[in-house]
Amino acid sequence: MEKYRNPFLTVDIIIETDGGIVLIKRKNPPYGWALPGGFVDYGESVEAAAVREAKEETSLCVQLTKLLGVYSDPGRDPRQHTVSTVFIARADGTPRAADDALEVAVFNQAALPEPLAFDHHRILKDYYSPCIKK
């Protein structure tokens, strides 16, 4: 008999600041630059998880402003099938790397770092699309 499996629920946060968006350099595999984010805890809403993960990884208190979308391609995370709810948020202050973040920095669209982990290049392409209302 085949064991029933579900995708893992995650969140990613595009944190807007006056200088651009906040990205973290991952401390753990898969390596690369990424949007702050992580797994939703049992009993936690995706909104609460987004605020928590943003604080844990960037030391910033964020205000969620919009839902960008849901990303569910089974290959988006090389570790397992994840479904991510992606929020746009606003924060003031200076980000500081913490938790799973080795580094944290603010980037504008013209100077995004490489490589980007997961499917974050696609998420940021959607975010910067002129067809998406922010």
| Distance (Å, whole) CA 3 – CA 15 | 38
Q: Is 103 known to be catalytic?
A: yes
Per-residue HEC secondary structure of the chain comes to: CCCCCCCEEEEEEEEEECCEEEEEEECCCCCCEECCEEECCCCCCHHHHHHHHHHHHHCCCCEEEEEEEEECCCCCCCCCCEEEEEEEEECCCCCCCCCCEEEEEEECHHHCCCCECCCHHHHHHHHHCCCCCC
The single residue of 2, 16, 53, 103 carrying the catalytic annotation is: 103
Residue 66: how many CB atoms within 10 A of its CB? 15
Just list the catalytic residues. Answer: 103
